[in-house]
Chains A and B, each alone.
Chain A
Amino acid sequence: MTTREAHLVELVDPAGRPIGSSTVDEAHRAPGRLHRAFSVVLVDDGGRILLQQRAAVKTRFALRWANACCGHPQPAEPVTVAAGRRLAEELGLAAVPLTEVGVHLYHALDPATGRVEHEYDHVLFGRLDPATPVHPDPDEVATVTWVSPADLATELSVHEDRFAPWLGGVVDTFSLRVAGLRDS
Chain B
Amino acid sequence: MLRHTASGLGSSVARQVSGPTERVVVVGAGLGGLACAIRLAGAGRTVTVLERDDGPGGRAGRLALDGYEFDTGPTVLTMPSLVADVLATVDEDLTAWLDLTKLDPAYRAHFADGSTLDVIADTARMAGEVARVCGPREADGYLRFVDHTRRLWRLERDDFIDRNLDGPRDLLTANLVRLALAGGFGRLQPLINRFFRDPRTRRIFSFQAMYAGVAPHQALALYAVIAYLDSVAGVYFPRGGIHAVPRALAGVAEKHGVTIQYGAHVTRVEVRGGRATGVLLEDGQRIPADVVVLNPDLPVAYRDLLPPARMRPLRYSPSCVVLHAGSSQGYADIAHHNIHFGRSWRSAFDEVINQGRLMSDPSLLVTNPTRTDPALAPEGKHTYYVLAPTPNLDTQQFGRRLDWRGSLAGTYRSELIATLEQRGYVGFGDGIEVSRFVTPADWADQGLAGGTPFAAAHTFRQTGPFRPGNLHPALDNVVFVGSGTQPGVGVPMVLISGRLAAERVTGAAR
Contacts and interface: CB of A to CB of B under 8 A. Distances in A.
Contact of A172 (B2, B169, B181): B169
Interface in B1-28: 1-5, 7-12
Contacts of A152: 2, 11, 172
Interface stretch (A19-27, A39-47, A75-83, A106-114): A39-47
Nearest to A47: B174
Contact of A182 (B9, B180, B460): B460
Contact of A174 (B3, B4, B180): B180
A174 B176 CA distance: 9
B174 A149 contact: yes
Contact of A155 (B3, B9, B10): B3
A65 B2 CA distance: 10
- Taking each of B170, B173, B175, B463, which has the highest tally of chain A beta carbons within 10 Å of its own beta carbon? B173
Contacts of A174: 180
Contact of A127 (B1, B10, B181): B181
A161 B41 CA distance: 43
B221 interface: yes
Interface string B147-178: 00000000000001000000011111111111
B463 A171 contact: no
A178 B180 contact: yes
A156 B222 contact: no
B174 A150 contact: yes
Nearest to A179: B171
A150 B11 contact: yes
A45 B177 CA distance: 8
Nearest to A44: B177
Interface in A21-78: 43, 45-49, 51, 53, 65
A45 B2 contact: no
A148 B11 CA distance: 10
A162 B2 CA distance: 10
A6 interface: no
Contacts of B464: 179, 181
A129 interface: no
Contact of B5 (A145, A154, A178): A154
Greatest chain B CB density within 10 A among A153, A162, A178, A179 is at A179
B184 interface: yes
Contacts of B11: 149-150, 152-154, 157
A101 B185 contact: yes
Contacts of B175: 47
Interface residues of A, number: 39
A128 to B, nearest CB: 11
Given A147-B2, A175-B168, A180 B173 contact: no
Contact of B179 (A48, A147, A176, A178): A178
A7 interface: no
A181 B180 contact: no
A151 to B, nearest CB: 6
Contact of A149 (B177, B185, B465, B466): B177
- Quick one: which of B3, B177, B221, B466 has the most chain A CB within 10 A? B177
A181 B1 contact: no
Interface string B393-411: 0000000000000000000
A151 B2 contact: yes
B38 interface: no
B220 interface: yes
B222 A180 contact: yes
Contacts of B2: 51, 65, 145, 147, 151-152, 155
A157 B169 contact: yes
A57 to B, nearest CB: 19
B177 A48 contact: yes
Nearest to A143: B1
B503 to A, nearest CB: 18
Contacts of B5: 150-151, 154
Nearest to B465: A181
A171 B173 CA distance: 11
A183 B460 contact: yes
A177 interface: yes
Contacts of A176: 168, 171
A43 B130 CA distance: 37
B4 A151 contact: yes
Contacts of A150: 5, 7-11, 172-174
- Please provide the 8 A-B residue pairs with the shortest distance between their CB atoms, ordered closest to farther: A47-B174, A153-B11, A180-B220, A175-B171, A47-B177, A180-B222, A153-B172, A178-B180
23 contacts: A43-B181, A45-B178, A45-B181, A48-B174, A49-B177, A51-B2, A127-B181, A149-B11, A149-B172, A149-B173, A150-B7, A152-B2, A152-B11, A153-B10, A155-B2, A157-B11, A171-B172, A172-B168, A179-B160, A179-B171, A180-B184, A180-B220, A181-B466
